[in-house]
Structure formats: C-alpha cells, structure tokens
Structure 1
Amino acid sequence: MSFAADSPFKSISILYRKSHIWLNEGCIPCDLTAAQAIVIMIVCDFSTLTQDEITKRLSLDKSVIAKTVTKLEERGFLQRTTNPKDKRTYDIHPTEKAWQVYPHIREQVEACFCRMTQTMSEEDRQNFRRLLDTAARAALNQEE
C-alpha cells in the first residue's frame, strides 16, 4: 500500500494522529492525556517557562495551553508563581509529581518515535529525527 506519494501532508497527518493515539495509550498509567504529557515534558525540559513560552514552543492556541496548564495545576503537576520581572506574567514550574512522571513520559515519546520508524535503519532514523527538527524549526521561524 503506497500512500506517501499522494501528499506529504497525508503522511504528516497519519504520523500526528498515530503518535497521539500511542502516547495517549502510553500515558494511561499516569492518568494523563498525550496533550497533558507533552506540556509536562516541555516544562520539565526547561524547569521554568511562562505560559506564553509554552504556547510558542508547542505552537498551540493560547486558550488550549491555558486550559491544560490550569488542569495540570489543579491535579498537582504544575505550579504557577508570579514572574519577578513582570508581575502580569506567571512562571510555570513542574512539581515533584511532574518530575515523578517525567521519565515515563520521555520513555513513551521515544517509544512512539520507535514505532513510527521501526522499519528504518538507525542511520535513517537519525536523519529522520534531524529532518523533522529542521522542518519544525523552519515552520516556527515563519511565525516570528
């Protein structure tokens, strides 16, 4: 079955959908959705981010991030503190609960990547990772 030649957007759509399904399944033991897991992961990756920075890094709608951060704060995964440089802005920090699930989330993200690249050689897998990063950076740079 050859469908990749149809359109790269069809392939991107399939990869996005499947990776979200796999990550949702993988995060069930932590009682997290894929979207929540990704927010926890990025906040842990940087230790402190503002809500705006999370929005920009994930290229998602502000309201989606606001709702997700609020839900994760209510569930004890994230904490908001007033930014000392700008009192109108909140810094988002991971809690101990977030740090506890962080290794599992990283494992699940890597497992999703391995599933989508299972038929690739290690060299192809590394090149694919690099090309995905390059394409994502190019897309984000167009927003600036």
Structure 2
Amino acid sequence: MDYVAEGPFKSISILYRKSHIWLNNNCASYDLSAAQAVVILIICDYRSLTQDDITKRLSLDKSVIAKTVNKLEERGYLVRTTNTKDKRTYDISPTEKAWEIYPFIKEQVEACFQRMTHTMTNQEREEFRRLLQLAAEASIALDEE
C-alpha cells in the first residue's frame, strides 16, 4: 500500500517531520531538542558563526534562532563574544560542553539519515545525499539574490 501522496513536497514534509521526531527522541537523554542539537552541530561545524549566519544557514526565523541560542548559552553549550569587525554583532562559538556532545549529535543525525534511507542501496543513498545537498544549496542561494 502506498502511504505517501505523490509529489516531492509531501515527501520532503514527511522526511523533515520524521527526522525531527527521531532526533528529538535520540537527544532526549541529553535534554536537547532536535532544533537545539542542529544549532550545536552547525556551530561546531563552523567553529564560530554570527546569529544571522545561523539563521541563513538553517533557513529558520530569526526569533526561533535567538531563543534557541539563548537557551543553549544559558545551559553552557554556547558562548557569545563581540565581533571584532562589527561591535553590534556577536560571534557564537561552542563551549567544551558542546564539543563533548558534538560527536553524539553527528552520530544521531547519521542514524536518522540511515533510518530514512534503509531501503536504498549504498549508491542510491550517496546520490540522495548529494541531491539533497544540491537542492539545499540552491534554495539558500535564491535567498541571497
């Protein structure tokens, strides 16, 4: 029986929702939500970003990112320092606590990806990963035009 209605938008919506449910469940033991885990992941990946950079890279609302960053800073995962080029902007960097959980988050994100692609061959999985990256980059680039 085919449970997924035709169309890529419906499929993307299902994948987004399922991956967040899985990531929420897997990160619950650290009292982290999927959204918080993803912010820690991107901050560690880039070592330091401004709040605006995080917003652009994740394509989320500024207020959502602000609340998430504030909560993670309060909990000791992130630290803000004044940007040397623009004193009105803060650079957000990971703390040791974030670096300690970073490998776990990466493993959980990969586990979610493996779960959603478990019926694919390795070649199909890697092609799917490449195409997702390509579509995400193209979408972000449209915002910058």
1:74-103 Cα shifts (integer Å, max 9, x gaps): 000000000011100000000000001100
User: Counterpart in 2 of 1:29?
Assistant: 29
In the TM superposition, residue 5 of structure 1 has moved relative to its aligned partner by 5.6
Partners of 2:132 and 2:139 in 1: CA distance:
11
Partners of 1:121 and 1:51 in 2: CA distance:
38
Q: Does 1:109 find its partner at 2:106?
A: no
User: Counterpart in 1 of 2:142?
Assistant: 142
Which residue identity lines up with residue 130 of structure 1 in the other structure?
A: R
User: Counterpart in 2 of 1:129?
Assistant: 129
Which ranges in structure 1 are unaligned for 5 or more consecutive residues?
none
TM-score (normalizing by structure 2): 0.97
Structure 1 runs (4+) deviating above 6 angstroms are none
Partners of 1:5 and 1:61 in 2: CA distance:
28
Q: Does 1:39 find its partner at 2:42?
A: no
Partners of 2:71 and 2:25 in 1: CA distance:
19
User: Counterpart in 1 of 2:93?
Assistant: 93
In the TM superposition, residue 28 of structure 1 has moved relative to its aligned partner by 1.2
Q: How does 1:66-81 map to 2 (within 5 A)?
A: 66-81=66-81
User: Counterpart in 2 of 1:83?
Assistant: 83
Which residue identity lines up with residue 133 of structure 1 in the other structure?
A: Q
Computed over aligned residues only, the root mean square deviation of the Cα atoms, in angstroms, reads 0.9
Which residue identity lines up with residue 139 of structure 2 in the other structure?
A: A
In the TM superposition, residue 6 of structure 1 has moved relative to its aligned partner by 1.5
Partners of 1:6 and 1:57 in 2: CA distance:
29
**What secondary structure sits across from 1:140 in the alignment?**
helix
**What secondary structure sits across from 1:118 in the alignment?**
coil
In the TM superposition, residue 7 of structure 1 has moved relative to its aligned partner by 1.4
1:22-56 Cα shifts (integer Å, max 9, x gaps): 00011012110000000000000011000000000
Query: Does 22-31 or 124-133 show the bigger shift?
Result: 22-31
Partners of 1:21 and 1:42 in 2: CA distance:
19
Which residue identity lines up with residue 33 of structure 1 in the other structure?
A: S
In the TM superposition, residue 4 of structure 1 has moved relative to its aligned partner by 4.4
**What secondary structure sits across from 2:143 in the alignment?**
coil
TM-score (normalizing by structure 1): 0.97
User: Counterpart in 1 of 2:119?
Assistant: 119
